[in-house]
Each structure stands twice: as C-alpha cells, then as structure tokens.
Structure 1
Amino acid sequence: MDERRNLNKAYYALKAFGEIVKGYPRLGEVKTTGSLTTLIAKSADGARTALLVADYCGLPGDVTLAAKGLPAGCPQVRVLDHTRDLAPVEARLSGDRIVLPKLDDESASYLLIW
C-alpha cells in the first residue's frame, strides 16, 4: 500500500467526524461492541440523523447493524477504507438490519446520513 495514501486516512476520518460535529449538534452516546464503535447524532431540529460506524480490523465480510431506533429508509452511506476515501456505497436493508459492504477483512469506517 502507498505509505502517503495511508497517512491521509486520518484526514478523511477527521473530515467525517467534523461533518457530524458541525451538522448534528445533538450527539448521542458512543458505543463499542466487539470491533465496532458507533456514534449517533441528530440535527438541531431533530429532522436529520447521522451515524458514524468504525470497524477496526474486526469483522470479516460486510458490517451488519440492527436498525432498531434508526430512521426508516435507506441512508446515504460513505465508506473510508484502505482503497476508498469517503466514497459513496450502497447500504442494503434486510428486515430489521442495515448491511454495509466491505471489500475485505481490513478496517473500515462508514458515515450514514438520513
């Protein structure tokens, strides 16, 4: 992997976090379960929701989240991994689950916006 590209990953992670802090001031609790860490936030008027999901070298294959308590519908999703820098990806809704695609077993972070 290109070392310079690898060093730029911190920029994109901070960019995603900054987007949440700027546009979604009602921050929720940070939760960690296994290799997944999540942060949910809402806009000041409560009309928009953002979810930041980080999978640090953990889950093989796609990341699956329980949709309980999240807004209805499919969110806009961007992924940060070793080949993509907050690139748009398609989430899949599967019953009461949201499935986020991973290329491989490497670390990945996702920014979901409803």
Structure 2
Amino acid sequence: MLLTWYSSSFSLAKILKRHRSYFEEKTALSNGANDAELYHGKYEKKIKSFAELLQTVQSIHRQVGDSNFEELTLSDLEQTEMQVDAALRRTRARKTELMLETINALNDKEKTLREENQRLQTQV
C-alpha cells in the first residue's frame, strides 16, 4: 500500500499540470479582467495547497523510493511517518474546508431559489 501511495505522486503531478493548464485556458478565454481575477483568486489558494502537498509527497518519495526499506533506520521511518501524517492532516483539513464552502454555496443557492419561488408565487 505504501508503494502505491508513493507511486501516485507522479499521477498527482499530472493532475496538477492539467489543473494549471485548465486554469490558464480559462483565464485566456475569460471575457473580462474581473472574471479572470475572480477565477484566479478563487483557485490560487487551491493550487498552492496542491503544490505544497506535491512537494511533500515528492520529498517522501525521494527518501523512501530511492532506498531499500530494509536499509532505512527507525529514525528515517518515523520521520517519513510524521511527514505522511502531516500531509494527510493538511489534505483532510482542505477537504473539510472545501466541503463547508460547497455546503454554504448550496445553502445560499437554496435561499435564493426559495425567495425567487415566493416572488413568482405572489405574481401568480
């Protein structure tokens, strides 16, 4: 399982590359500067978070992937475990943050739709 997780760092790099290219295309196609600024501001933090996670994964991969597990000391393994735990905590925190943002956006949309529904009912 550990080797699978480390090898997935390369697919994470591909995901980040695709996300960046999508971001650049979206920004280039944006009609106005305001749209591009809003899009950039919204996703800049997310890209930075993914980049930091990728750096952590690559660091762990270098430590463990380049050496034989039998040759690693207890200290090396403990340090690697702490890095993995820290990366998982950051990932879970970011996931929770994104889920809360989504819930808030959906609550706002629900409120807007209810208000519009009431307005339409009063017109009929």
| Structure with the largest fraction of helix | 2
TM-score normalized by the length of structure 2? 0.30
TM-score normalized by the length of structure 1? 0.32
| Structure with the largest fraction of strand | 1
